[in-house]
Structure 1
Amino acid sequence: MKNTKFDEIHTKIIVIKWNKYLNTTNFKQLLLLNDKERKIFLSLSDKRKIEFIGTRFILRYMRIKINSLYNNNFFIYKGKKKYFSLSHSYERIAIAISSYHVGIDIEKYREKITKIKKKFVRKDENFFLKKKSEKDYLHIIWGIKESLYKLNGGTYYNFLNHYKVSPFCIKKDHSIQCWIIKKYCSKKFTAFYKKLENYYLVYSIDI
């Protein structure tokens, strides 16, 4: 994968660590923001500032030269449309760039996930959760639904009614079938996950 050119593969996932040595000041100096970008940057919230700079840092790292990122999450690279999705959690920024519609989520592993379980886990998903590793299952399911939400452009916000995750086993399955449920039809997608230290990285793709 290291020697593969970006335009020869369909999806690229990059995660960077955000810490006191890699802050917005260092990013700004590294990227040399132009006047337009600096004006946009100053108008953003602290969270959005991190995402704004982090995105440009990663794209520069990948040697992708773009003039702007379009509002509907795509850009043109060597004459081809590429889709992107971004997620930020504590000290991690993750970005997915793909030839297909894609959504990504990264979440820090926390006990809090169990307190909101009823807000995003359906009855037909609850039955395959394993008690010993329930929090891991919850982080993956949440990540899948969050990534589907982003992939779909943030149109459907109800994680119980509009998104469904097929049964899976953490020890065996690294790709998971999932669904966006609409009023008159449903569409299947494929999600992938990986645990990175105390974070769960999940992305869904429309292949």
Structure 2
Amino acid sequence: MPIFLQKKIEPDILLALWHITETNAELKNLLSKDFFERDMHLKMDNAAASHYLASRVLLNQQFKDVPVHLHKNKFNKPLLELSGIPYHVSITHSHHFAGIILSKNLEVGMDLEKTDERINRVAHKFMNEKEVSFAGKEDQVVEKTIIWSAKETLYKIYGEKELDFKLHLHIKKFVLNTQGSIQTVIKKDDYIGHFNVYYKCFKEFILTYAVNYEE
């Protein structure tokens, strides 16, 4: 069972990443009976099903004997219930990885992106002038991907959509390492939120996550 990464960020916060090497049918066989019956309608022949199943396998592995219910609110934000108790959860996937982060008490966000030079073509859509000033060079693909992923994480933390990545989400200058944290701000209307977004570079991927301690 290829759990690629599992980390207790705090006693209440769990992060896990699954490396998908199984077929969709094999992933489905890893789910408990309750999961299996609930998701019988899923088509087993596409990548979306693979990502969906891998994230559910991660949840199922963590809570084998606990009734798990996952649904979405009006903003399409995932909501998790374990034995009827609500949990905050964020789910991400990219290529052959799927990940979750969850907490009983704190809002969480998580994102995973694969680095690709084509990000230079779209950077102007999500990077503001200050971000371009320190990560705007053509060879700064990793930095741009971290910024993009961090903003995806902030978007999930905020959870109410209608965020302009360029206007409302701000990444402060950072020094690139294989892992670290960056200071970020969400500014929208009367709302201002400050967050440390943590990142980890591995293989060709960037993983970011954040916790809302301001709640």
- Give me the TM-score of the superposition, normalised by structure 2: 0.81
Q: Secondary structure at the match of 1:68?
A: strand
Alpha-carbon distance in 1 for matches of 2:192, 2:158: 12
Alpha-carbon distance in 2 for matches of 1:142, 1:55: 22
Matching residue's letter, 1:180:
I
1:102 pairs with 2:102: no
Aligned in 2, Cα 1:51/1:66: closer, same or farther, shift over 3 Å?
A: farther
Count the aligned residue pairs: 200
Residues 118-129 of structure 1 aligned to structure 2 (within 5 Å): 118-129=124-135
1:38 paired residue number: 40
Alpha-carbon distance in 2 for matches of 1:113, 1:154: 25
Q: 2:165 aligns with which of 159, 170, 194?
A: 159
Aligned in 2, Cα 1:61/1:120: closer, same or farther, shift over 3 Å?
A: same
2:4 paired residue number: none
1:11 pairs with 2:13: yes
Unaligned runs of 5+ in 1: none
Residues 61-100 of structure 1 aligned to structure 2 (within 5 Å): 61-63=61-63, 65-72=66-73, 73-77=78-82, 81-98=86-103, 99-100=105-106
| 1:8 shift after superposition | 6.7
Alpha-carbon distance in 2 for matches of 1:54, 1:162: 32
| 1:6 shift after superposition | 6.6
Aligned in 2, Cα 1:204/1:79: closer, same or farther, shift over 3 Å?
A: same
| Farther-moved stretch of structure 1 (75-84 vs 22-31) | 75-84
Alpha-carbon distance in 2 for matches of 1:68, 1:172: 35
What does the per-residue CA deviation read over 1:30-55, in whole Å, with 9 as the maximum and x for residues that have no partner?
2144433213x24x993442232112
Identity, % of aligned pairs? 25
Q: Secondary structure at the match of 2:135?
A: coil
Q: Secondary structure at the match of 2:39?
A: helix
Aligned in 2, Cα 1:150/1:77: closer, same or farther, shift over 3 Å?
A: same
Q: Which structure shows the bigger proportion of residues in strand conformation?
A: 2
- Give me the TM-score of the superposition, normalised by structure 1: 0.83
Q: 8 Å contact 1:156–1:162 — kept in the other structure?
A: no
What does the per-residue CA deviation read over 1:2-37, in whole Å, with 9 as the maximum and x for residues that have no partner?
xxx979713221111123xx1211011221444332
1:169 pairs with 2:171: no
What does the per-residue CA deviation read over 1:160-185, in whole Å, with 9 as the maximum and x for residues that have no partner?
11211112111397111212221123
Alpha-carbon distance in 1 for matches of 2:123, 2:10: 40
2:123 paired residue number: 117
What does the per-residue CA deviation read over 1:75-124, in whole Å, with 9 as the maximum and x for residues that have no partner?
24477532111111111111111231111111111111111110111001
| 1:126 shift after superposition | 1.6
| 1:133 shift after superposition | 5.6
User: For the aligned residues, what is the CA RMSD?
Assistant: 2.9
| 1:68 shift after superposition | 1.0
